[in-house]
Chains A and B, each alone.
Chain A
Amino acid sequence: MIQWLMNIDRRIIFVFVFLGVALPLLANVFLPIRPTRDVIAVYDQLEKVAQDEGVVLLSFSYGASTEPEMQPMARAILRHCFSRNIKVVAVCLWPEAPGLAQQVLEEIGDEFGKTYGVDYAFLGFKPGNFAVVLNMGQDFRDAFPQDNWGTPLEDLALMRDVRTLRDFDFVFDLAAGDSIEFWWIPYGQEKYGFPFAGGCTAVMAPDLFPFLQSGQMVGLLGGLAGAAEYETLVGRQDKATAGMSAQSMAHLIIVIFIIFGNMAFFLSRRR
């Protein structure tokens, strides 16, 4: 029995994880979510931008593989911006990001009846990683002379007063790689001094805590949990909140298996 507990067939674990993830999603279970300090800080910053009738730059730095974790975050942030009439400019620094950005901008833009070019603009992807950030800080039109569909920025009402990164009231990077710590902070926030925050996959979040403490980041949305917390603040429960019940169950199952494995391990050592 102890040996069996120590070497449970991985297929049994897979079945438990599958059920733990699938059942809460199918049953539409919503667990209450308590927003944390760093997520509230992002919300408050956007509220400040709304009061000043400002413009936000949203940078999409993620691809298809992290879509389930990052897209709900983008959706929640955009809902907040559009519900408070904040203007949004979206750029992509990852080659896979334009399709995802376009999808979420159109979806949330339509939901709030926003007009392209007036309330939001989508400038597409440019290669160059940190060099694009540097370029945007020097002259925004050098980096993005036209939008995703070839319209010159001068023809977009929203873009007429934007010359550099300093003209944005807030910059938010949605990141699945190292764009926050190696592109935006050293070549953007630190050099041009604008309020900056980010959203990232859960596995990356602990790496970014030093930048929160140093004040280089206003706040941080970490993984699906961060997105769910933001959905709670915005008052619209969506995919992230639904996903948190599945994630809760998955974590609980993993913890239970770890405890079983250790109990068996200690019993076998005693013998």
Chain B
Amino acid sequence: MIFLSRTLPVIVALCFGVLGIGIYYVPHAAAQNIERELALWLRIVFAFSYLLGLYSLLNLHWQRIRQRVEGWGYSAMVYAGFGLMMLFVIYNDGQGPFAPQAEGTAAENGYQWLFEYVQVACSSTMFSILAFFIASAAYRTFRARTPEAALLLVAAIVVMLGRVPIGAYISDYVPAAADWLLNVPNLAAKRGILLGVSLGAIATSLRIIFGIERSYLGGGDE
């Protein structure tokens, strides 16, 4: 059992890890064919992850409904929304669930109509509400308590004004200063972070490939 739950996954990770790195840099047709096959496998695994996500979401909300926890009505709405969309997907304009998606604009197709006039409208509204919270949070937290905070505050104001047309109305220097902040200090910091994260990812990948890091198997090292 230990072989199946511990040793075999480590061997699989080692083989596919080394293979994955190797074939990325080898232009030979045989290597390219293996890469092509692996990419197809990966896509199949990704497709299953959607099923897993769906099960997880529905199970979580089912438990909330079953236990009548506070706000369980929202969980019922998840089921109602999911059921309604599924209904239109299965109906598929009379063609059934196994035919490709039915053609038609929102006016002709129920699924497309629900997407455009319910899902897009609701999601966009939720995202837009962020603007109100950001405005309130910025007012409350952006205080020049230290020289570093003052520097951050000035940079934020310059970029906020410089990235919208009103900045150029105030002065031509505002967009120029915003561009400089984004292209010089921001770029330097981002590049440093990116290099650090990439080196960290390489180190972690090597640890997984060579079996040093085994926490992904569950239960930590034995």
Q: Are A135 and B124 in contact (CB under 8 A)?
A: no
Interface residues of A in 55-95 (CB under 8 A from B): 63-68, 95
Q: Are A138 and B153 in contact (CB under 8 A)?
A: no
Q: Which of B62-70, B71-79, B164-172, B207-215 forms contacts with chain A?
A: B164-172
A21 to B131 CA separation, bound complex (whole angstroms): 10
A48 within 8 A of B: no
Q: Are A17 and B135 in contact (CB under 8 A)?
A: yes
Q: Are B46 and A127 in contact (CB under 8 A)?
A: yes
Q: Which residues on the B side are within 8 Å of A46 (C-beta)?
A: none
Interface residues of B in 43-73 (CB under 8 A from A): 43, 46-47, 49-50
Interface residues of A in 233-261 (CB under 8 A from B): 244-245, 247-255, 257-258, 260-261
Write the nearest CB–CB distance from A4 to chain B, whole angstroms. 13
A75 to B105 CA separation, bound complex (whole angstroms): 17
- Our count of residue pairs bridging A and B at CB distance below 8 angstroms stands at 170
A8 to B100 CA separation, bound complex (whole angstroms): 55
B3 within 8 A of A: no
Q: Which residues on the B side are within 8 Å of A228 (C-beta)?
A: 165
Q: Are A10 and B136 in contact (CB under 8 A)?
A: yes
* Binary contact readout A194-233 vs B (1 if CB under 8 angstroms, 0 otherwise): 0000000010011101100100000000110100100000
Q: Which residues on the B side are within 8 Å of A244 (C-beta)?
A: 164-165
Q: Which residues on the A side are within 8 Å of B136 (C-beta)?
A: 10, 13-14
Q: Which residue of the partner chain A has the closest CB to B165?
A: A31
Select which of A247, A250, A265 is within 8 A of B143 by beta carbon.
A265
A171 within 8 A of B: no
A45 within 8 A of B: no
Q: Are B142 and A251 in contact (CB under 8 A)?
A: no
B126 within 8 A of A: yes
A255 to B159 CA separation, bound complex (whole angstroms): 11
Q: Which residues on the B side are within 8 Å of A66 (C-beta)?
A: 127
Contact A95:B99 (CB < 8 A) given known A17-B131, A65-B124: no
Q: Which residue of the partner chain B has the closest CB to A247?
A: B164
Q: Are A150 and B99 in contact (CB under 8 A)?
A: yes
Select which of A67, A149, A206, A254 is within 8 A of B124 by beta carbon.
A67
A63 to B116 CA separation, bound complex (whole angstroms): 11
Q: Are A131 and B120 in contact (CB under 8 A)?
A: no
Contact A225:B124 (CB < 8 A) given known A131-B43, A142-B36: no
A252 to B170 CA separation, bound complex (whole angstroms): 11
Write the nearest CB–CB distance from A92 to chain B, whole angstroms. 12
Q: Are A138 and B139 in contact (CB under 8 A)?
A: no
A251 to B24 CA separation, bound complex (whole angstroms): 45
* Binary contact readout B112-147 vs A (1 if CB under 8 angstroms, 0 otherwise): 100110011011101110011011101110111100
Q: Are A251 and B187 in contact (CB under 8 A)?
A: no
Contact A209:B164 (CB < 8 A) given known A65-B123, A258-B139, A258-B153: no
Q: Are B46 and A131 in contact (CB under 8 A)?
A: yes
Write the nearest CB–CB distance from B51 to chain A, whole angstroms. 10
A65 to B35 CA separation, bound complex (whole angstroms): 34
Q: Are A138 and B36 in contact (CB under 8 A)?
A: yes
B106 within 8 A of A: yes
Q: Are A128 and B157 in contact (CB under 8 A)?
A: no
B183 within 8 A of A: yes
Q: Are B100 and A128 in contact (CB under 8 A)?
A: no
A205 to B116 CA separation, bound complex (whole angstroms): 26
Write the nearest CB–CB distance from B136 to chain A, whole angstroms. 4
Select which of A64, A128, A254 is within 8 A of B119 by beta carbon.
A64
Report 22 cross-chain contacts, Cβ distance below 8 Å, ordered by A residue. A13-B135, A13-B136, A31-B166, A34-B175, A67-B120, A99-B112, A103-B112, A126-B43, A127-B47, A127-B49, A131-B42, A148-B100, A149-B103, A210-B191, A213-B187, A225-B164, A251-B163, A252-B161, A252-B166, A254-B139, A255-B157, A261-B139
